[in-house]
Amino acid sequence: MKINSVKIISLLFFVLSAFYLYTAYQIQVFAFDENSAFNAKTFPIYLGYAGMFFAGLKIVLPDRKPIEVDPTHLEFKKTILLVTTMIIYGATILKVGFFLSTSLFLVFSYYFLGERRWKYILIFSFPFVAIFMYLLHGLLAVYLRDPLLKYIGIMG
Amino acid sequence: MIEGILIGLKTALSFQNLLMVMIGCFAGTIIGMLPGLGPMTAIALMIPITYGFDPATGLILMAGVYYGAVFGGSTSSILINAPGVPGTVATSFDGYPMAQQGKAGKALAIAAYSSFAGGTIAAIFLLIAAPSLSKVSLSFRSPDYFGLMILGLTAVSAFSSKGNFLKAMMMCVFGLMLASVGQDTLSDIPRFTFNTMNLSDGISFVLVVMATFAMSEALTIIIKGSDPTKAAKQISLTDLGSIKINKEETKQMAKTIPRSSVLGFIVGVLPGAGATIASFLAYGMERNFVNKEEKEKFGKGSVQGLSAPETANNAACSGAFVPLLTLGIPGSGTTAVMLGALLGFGIQPGPRLYETNPEIFWSVIMSMYIGMVVLLILNLPLIPYIARILAVPRTFLIPMILFFSVTGIYLMSFNNFDIFLMIGIAVIATILRLYDFPMPPLILAFVLGGLMEENLRRSLLISDGSWSFLWDRPLTLCIMIVIFGIISWQGYQSVVKK
């Protein structure tokens, strides 16, 4: 059996299924439901076994068309930067407010992806978000939480 | 039925709904045109906006987006040989050579007329088939529904996995596992919540769709370092040539359209098959129907070679709505997203939808037709302008997709946890995509998870815990035989054929 990335992913899925199955057995059901033909843990238990079965088959059976992705051709740096920016965006959107956090997220994302034309970066961030907010909040009456704009008095 | 059609027309032709069809078609065309972003991403990005509308309007908007995205996919296939969606791969076989011959405008017009005709014929079939099947499906019981759901998952796994059936089945199980998080619907017992309140209501459907499609597609483009808009920079998107079609070409299309429509519709109704298979089958069928001289032209800019897959993929899109509207069981990833949206509106599609919410049932069908008219009269003349979207650099495109995804979840929950969970699922989905693990089975399983458990619960309780319900009823037995056939065929392909 040749070990490749797909087999490793399948092994991880096997472990996940085993953990899921263990957790499924730990689900506390009502006493009167314990011996019933179907209770809250029946379906998850079947799923746990099914996951282990399919992942096990994938690990054991040889690959017909093995896929190998060359890590040297993948852009990890840009992806990690973008994911980190998204996490910071997600963490600040409620506290800082929609307008500032979204605009800054867009500015940094454009920059990290290689954009250097500052005129376009600025047009497609702050004014773009302002128009988007006006359409959503002003026209469609969709609530957008923004403590900063509320404090300044722009948003009600 | 006439009364229903009139109700549907009345709803679909209201000013607001007409506007929604137009916006949907337009937005869908733009998103569908971008290589890598298909109808599922387009619909997923629209879901948070639709929750502000009434169900009929929301669904009409999504139907418009769906058709627009399929049309947009054809445009990028023809202009830059980069199909926006798998269903339009066959379109590029003859569409792109035509564009290279300086007849891009004509190729787009043939695609638009064929899509319109295919969609129209299929909409008529849908009008006839849906109410009849609704009545038949009233006799379906829980074991039949459970069997049909297994069939849907198995078929989607078999057809969407490109030979990786086991990977697709793993994705199905993963989708079902995600769907099981949260309180049990009957007993309210928390499951897999790990004592956090954030998971007690389960994982939001929109969150999973956004993460596995919109967000992970954007991240995949970045990690692979590919530029979906690169090809567009090498051609002129403003001078596409004439969109007029001559008599000879019209004659050729008139022969192709009826047979491809019938084929497309039938394939679309089948669970798991969908637009991709329909378009390839129609292309192959058409090649066998034409004379030797025309056969030579296939792959070099044949009118019939372009018309057949375009007709079939649109007809299949309408066909895919038959199991969704009549049985409440989606046959494809895209209709699974539509089902999730319907459930979000508090509507349970199925045989009773026809009786309980006729205005929704009929207005969706009628708005599909109106959507196709809008696509023809609005998008075709505007294509040279819309096509410029293909030249938008990825440095702007990707952050916009990520922004719409995060905003969609933020607007629904105002909760940081959901945003972090979405990013986590998107990262996992991106890694899985890199190694060809298909996402449509995951979404279909996630949407069907609750219904599947419910039907299994009823079946097992009625049969007192015995699994004999799988073969007690002739209909369930037939479904199980089909499932067994699909699994055996996949097993044969992956083991014996080697």
Q: Does B402 touch chain A (CB under 8 A)?
A: yes
Could you tell me the two tokens for B228? 């979906």
Tokens 């459970």, residue located: B146
pLDDT at B227: 65
Which carries the bigger pLDDT value, residue B464 or residue B1? Answer: B464
Q: Does B219 touch chain A (CB under 8 A)?
A: yes
Residue A138 to chain B, least CA–CA distance (Å):
14
Confidence of residue B75 (pLDDT cuts 50, 70, 90): confident
Residue A151 to chain B, least CA–CA distance (Å):
19
Q: What are the φ/ψ torsions at residue B460 (nearest 5 degrees)?
A: -70, -35
Which residue of chain A is at minimal alpha-carbon distance from B425?
A: A83
Tokens 């440095």, residue located: B395
Which chain A residues in 77-136 lie under 8 Å from chain B, judged by CB atoms?
A: 78-79, 82-83, 86-87, 89-91, 93-94, 98, 102, 105-106, 109-110, 113-115, 120, 124, 136
pLDDT tens digit sequence for B103-142? 888 888 898 899 889 988 988 888 888 777 777 777 788 9
pLDDT tens digit sequence for B383-413? 777 777 777 788 888 898 899 888 888 887 8
Q: Does A36 touch chain B (CB under 8 A)?
A: yes
pLDDT tens digit sequence for A106-126? 999 999 999 999 999 999 999
**DSSP secondary structure letter of residue A63:** P
pLDDT tens digit sequence for B316-340? 888 888 888 888 888 777 788 888 8
Q: Model-level pTM?
A: 0.82
Report chain A's mean pLDDT, rounded to a whole number: 89
Instruction: Determine the residue type at B217.
Output: E
Cα-Cα-Cα-Cα dihedral sign, residues B10, B14, B17, B18: positive
DSSP 3-state of B190: strand
Residue B249 to chain A, least CA–CA distance (Å):
42
Instruction: Determine the residue type at B44.
Output: A
Nearest to A105 among B403, B414, B452 (CB): B403
Q: Does A23 touch chain B (CB under 8 A)?
A: yes
User: What percent of chain B clears pLDDT 70, i.e. is strictly above it?
Assistant: 93
Q: Is the CB of A51 less than 8 angstroms away from the CB of B170?
A: yes
Whole-number Å distance between alpha carbons of B360 and B367: 10
The Cα-based distances of A148 to A23, A125, A141, A153, B30 in angstroms read 43, 17, 19, 9, 33
Answer yes or no: are the C-beta atoms of B441 and B168 closer than 8 Å.
yes
Q: B432 contacts in A (CB within 8 Å)?
A: 9
pLDDT tens digit sequence for A17-63? 999 999 999 999 988 888 888 999 999 999 999 999 999 999 998 87
Whole-number Å distance between alpha carbons of B446 and B208: 8
**DSSP secondary structure letter of residue B161:** S
Q: What are the φ/ψ torsions at residue B237 (nearest 5 degrees)?
A: -95, 0
How many domains, in total, are found in chain B? 1
Taking each helix axis as running N to C, give the angle between helix B440-462 and helix B142-160, from 0 to 180 degrees, rounded to the nearest 10. Answer: 160
ipTM passes above 0.90: yes
Is pLDDT at B55 greater than 90 in this prediction? no
Which residue of chain B is at minimal alpha-carbon distance from A142?
A: B52
Is pLDDT at B232 greater than 60 in this prediction? no
pLDDT at A3: 80
DSSP 3-state of B245: coil
Tell me the mean pLDDT in the region B349-373.
77
Tokens 């790990």, residue located: B194
Whole-number Å distance between alpha carbons of B163 and B490: 8
pLDDT at B266: 87
Whole-number Å distance between alpha carbons of A121 and A103: 10
Determine the residue among A16, A86, A100 to mutate to test chain B binding: the one whose Cβ has the most chain B Cβ atoms within 10 Å: A86
Q: Does A51 touch chain B (CB under 8 A)?
A: yes
Whole-number Å distance between alpha carbons of B274 and B267: 6
Q: Domain-by-domain residue ranges, chain A?
A: 5-68, 73-152
| CA-based nearest residue to B179, from B426, B445, B413 | B445
Q: Does A47 touch chain B (CB under 8 A)?
A: yes
Nearest to B423 among A39, A44, A86 (CB): A86
Whole-number Å distance between alpha carbons of B94 and B302: 6
**Range of B381's domain?**
2-496
Which chain A residues in 2-21 lie under 8 Å from chain B, judged by CB atoms?
A: 5-6, 9-10, 13, 17, 20
- Contact residues for B254 (Cβ-Cβ < 8 A; gap 6+): none
Which carries the bigger pLDDT value, residue B186 or residue A9? Answer: A9
